[in-house]
């Protein structure tokens, strides 16, 4: 599959899908608290996406994934399946949301604290967020994908953390996962040259320990191999004539 350039109409549809995905994370924030199960978070997001937003939760039944969102707690890197696990004070959790509206996808995730997190956990989440922003700031016509990956990697590693290699960002539009693959590490001046109209996610996974991960027997849940904490943030980004537009920015957020 080649990289698609979105026209003005397609860009507008992407904006709407991104806006709705961001709205899900805003809605669920006050419900992320000690004692709630990740399945309860999933059910509330599903109801909101289908009932309030009149949209479709993209993860549900995607290649067999059984839920409408991903919930990744503590040492879970990504693709955690919501279930009966209750959140506890001090946990950190990534909620990953993708919605489909009028045939286009909006994809975003963020970290939440359950009560007051340990110092290391808070710092990890803050560094992962900043690393994502460092990558976003590289986006403009003529930039290379390696510029994004290098900015993310060098920032995270300078803080003493590591970047997961096995999972990456991706193009997005009519399909959930399109070209290009967006690595969160790399060498400046290498990789695909960005053009206005490209849309993709930037979603670095940053570990407190080593970068190695392993896949659990459920075929979805990815955890750190050394059981260290992991954090991830994600935005859908559009390349514009002058730079970039973050399509999944939430109220009060200025990437």
CATH number, domain 8-246, options 3.30.70.3340, 3.40.1280.10, 3.90.230.10, 3.40.50.300: 3.90.230.10
Q: What are phi and psi of 197, to 5 degrees?
A: 100, -10
* Ramachandran class of 185: left when φ > 0, alpha when ψ lies in -120 to 50, beta otherwise: beta
Q: Model confidence over 179-233: pLDDT tens digits?
A: 999 999 999 999 999 999 999 999 999 999 999 999 999 999 999 999 999 999 9
The parts of the chain modelled with pLDDT lower than 50 are none
Max Cα–Cα distance, the chain, nearest Å: 48
The pTM for the full model equals: 0.96
* CB-count exposure of residue 126 (10 Å: 0-12, 13-18, 19+): middle
Q: Tell me the DSSP string of 84-98.
A: SPBP-TT-EEEEEEE
The CA–CA distances, whole Å, from 111 to 38, 193, 205 equal 14, 30, 11
66: its two tokens? 């059984």
Domain edges within the chain: 8-246
CA 35/CA 115 separation, integer angstroms? 11
Residue 216 in contact with residue 223, Cβ under 8 Å? Answer: yes
Q: What are phi and psi of 39, to 5 degrees?
A: -65, -35
CA 83/CA 47 separation, integer angstroms? 16
For 219, other C-beta atoms within 10 Å of its C-beta total 11
């Amino acid at each position: 599959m080649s990289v698609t350039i979105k026209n003005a109409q397609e860009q507008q549809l992407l904006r709407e899908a991104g806006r709705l995905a961001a709205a899900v994370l805003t809605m669920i924030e006050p419900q992320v608290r000690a004692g709630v199960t990740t399945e309860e978070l999933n059910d509330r997001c599903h109801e909101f996406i289908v009932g309030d937003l009149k949209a479709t939760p993209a993860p549900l039944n995607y290649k067999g994934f059984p839920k409408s969102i991903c919930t990744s707690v503590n040492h879970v890197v990504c693709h955690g399946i919501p279930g009966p696990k209750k959140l506890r004070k001090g946990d950190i959790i990534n909620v990953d949301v993708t919605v489909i509206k009028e045939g286009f996808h909006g994809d975003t995730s963020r970290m939440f604290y359950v009560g007051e997190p340990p110092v290391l956990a808070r710092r990890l989440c803050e560094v992962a967020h900043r690393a994502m922003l460092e990558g976003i700031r590289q986006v403009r016509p003529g930039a290379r994908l390696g510029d994004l990956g290098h900015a993310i990697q060098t920032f995270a590693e300078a803080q003493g953390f590591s970047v997961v290699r096995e999972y990456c960002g991706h193009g997005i539009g009519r399909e959930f996962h399109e070209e290009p693959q967006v690595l969160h590490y790399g060498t400046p001046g290498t990789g695909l040259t960005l053009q206005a109209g490209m849309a993709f996610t930037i979603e670095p996974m940053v570990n407190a320990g080593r970068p190695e991960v392993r896949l659990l027997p459920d075929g979805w849940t990815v955890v750190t191999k050394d059981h260290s904490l992991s954090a991830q943030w994600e935005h859908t980004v559009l390349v514009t004539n002058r730079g970039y537009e973050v399509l999944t920015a939430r109220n009060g957020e200025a990437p």
